[in-house]
Amino acid sequence: MRNSQGGGLGNVSMPEWDVIVIGAGAAGLLCAIEAGKRGREVLLLEHSDTVGKKIKISGGGRCNFTNIYTNPDNFTSSNPHFCKSALARYTPADFVALVEKHGIAYHEKKLGQLFCYGSSQQIIDLLLRECMDARVEIRCGCRVLGVEKNDTFRIETNQGSIVSDSLVIASGGLSIAPLGATDFGYRIARQFGLQIEEPRPGLVPFTLTSQILKRWAKLAGVSVYALVGYDGQQFRENILITHRGLSGPGILQISSYWEPGASVSINLLPDEDMLELLMRNKSSDTELVNLLSRYLPRRFAQAWCDLYAASRPLKHYNGRELEEVARMLHNMQITPSGTEGFKKAEVTVGGVSTTELSSRTMEARRVPGLYFIGEVVDVTGQLGGYNFQWAWASAFAAGQFV
Ligand SMILES: Cc1cc2nc3c(=O)[nH]c(=O)nc-3n(C[C@H](O)[C@H](O)[C@H](O)COP(=O)(O)OP(=O)(O)OC[C@H]3O[C@@H](n4cnc5c(N)ncnc54)[C@H](O)[C@@H]3O)c2cc1C
């Protein structure tokens, strides 16, 4: 830390840093570490009382810190190519190496998702230890009141004024305000005239109309393996019917792509050819509900038949009716009334437009020295460790240049 002469305040001297990072979440911590390792003097500001609150609760307390199959296709953005460069330069193997360096035990739960065996606090401790080694100074409980740019950035905080050559915004998205989420990053982007892709909740449960909820009341609590689709995106994962609507990984995944008013398709038996199966049993005494119960939870099969196809022996259905049953099982169309919003969303879709940023450095093209990393940027990962991988990768990219 150097001392500078504060322009606006006459000759008052102000502490000056090479780099100030705002937001001590996944992205801010890693960026501070990388910049510190390069010998930069780094100050990391966090308005909450502790760092890494989302890391702490992530992955059910065990932090799904990356996904070994990370690929640009796992991300949504107005520019799907933007994430490629950063993801290629900091891979899941790079973060795994860090986890192993700190002796943290981990395992693959499913589909390439890596979790700590112990607690997600281990990841926070890892990052804090690396910050210490890289001589990063961290200040919690620090509220930023304003940012100005001349040759350098001048940041007014509740703990005084500070100056830096580079300013990194790592303040995350809007999901789950009690964990520290604010619109700070978007406000700074607007202040500097940068475009924002409208932020909206992602990885979020759907709500349903009271009419549908009433009809589905008996299904609440049932989970079914399904293929959920919308606008060319498809996910084979469980869906969960709740008292308020639909949740479960398959629904959370598709919610990041869904647009209000549209319907999503649900294939309840993606691994079966139901028409062929029903036709094969066309002359049997087996009741539809019993046949379906071989492939679906009985409670679900029963409720589904009550709602859509009053169960009777299969021999009592004609061909057209069986075709209709098969069609409804393979292509149920549901129109959500909305989502549970930022209160329940795991991520924010949208954010600082990638057209404003260099994909190599995350620096704003029109504002030299200003960087945006992590969830505040219009790059959103699917469920399964991809959002942390984007946080690490974008942070690493900026960390080499700030
Ligand atoms: C319940 C839940 C579980 C999740 N589980 C996983 C998972 O297992 N795997 C995965 O990949 N992703 C998971 N995610 C998503 C992941 O947590 C985020 O994508 C990731 O934390 C984004 O990192 P970030 O550093 O950009 O933002 P954040 O982690 O949100 O960090 C932003 C930081 O900035 C601070 N901040 C905000 N405004 C200001 C301000 N004005 N001044 C100073 N500081 C400020 C915040 O307090 C926060 O500490 C989960 C999210 C939630 C909500």
Ligand 1 atom nearest the C-alpha of 26 is 25
Q: Model-level pTM?
A: 0.95
Dihedral angle over CA of 367, 370, 375, 378, nearest 10:
10
Ligand 1 atom nearest the C-alpha of 27 is 25
Per-residue model confidence (pLDDT) at position 5: 53
Q: Give per-residue pLDDT as tens, 5-24.
A: 554 444 567 789 999 999 99
- Ligand 1 centroid – CA 112 distance (Å): 21
Q: Give the chain's mean pLDDT.
A: 95
Per-residue model confidence (pLDDT) at position 10: 47
Residue nearest to atom 18 of ligand 1 (CA): 387
Least reliable range by pLDDT among 97-106, 195-204, 308-317, 322-331:
308-317
Q: Give per-residue pLDDT as tens, 337-375.
A: 999 999 999 999 999 999 999 999 999 999 999 999 999
pLDDT of 200 strictly over 80: yes
Phi first, then psi, for residue 241 (nearest 5°) are -90, 130
Per-residue model confidence (pLDDT) at position 4: 63
pLDDT band at residue 310 under the 50/70/90 scheme: confident
Buried b (16+ CB within 10 A) or exposed e, 48-85: beebbbbbbebbeebbbbbbeebebebbbbeeeebbeb
Pocket test for ligand 1, best of 50, 58, 120, 252 (most atoms within 8 A of CB): 58
CA distance 380 to 198: 13
Per-residue model confidence (pLDDT) at position 115: 98
Q: CB neighbours (10 Å) of residue 151?
A: 9
Residues with Cβ within 8 Å of 103's Cβ and at least 6 positions away in sequence, in order, are none
Per-residue model confidence (pLDDT) at position 309: 85
Per-residue model confidence (pLDDT) at position 15: 80
Ligand 1 atom nearest the C-alpha of 375 is 26
Per-residue model confidence (pLDDT) at position 7: 47
CA distance 251 to 388: 20
Q: What's the whole-number mean pLDDT along residues 275-280?
A: 96
CA distance 374 to 212: 37
Q: Which residues line ligand 1 (CB under 6 A)?
A: 22-28, 45-48, 53-54, 57-59, 63-64, 144, 170-172, 175-176, 180, 182, 184, 346-347, 374-375, 385-388, 391
Q: Give per-residue pLDDT as tens, 218-229.
A: 889 999 999 999
Three-class SS of residue 351?
strand
Q: What's the whole-number mean pLDDT along residues 78-91?
A: 98
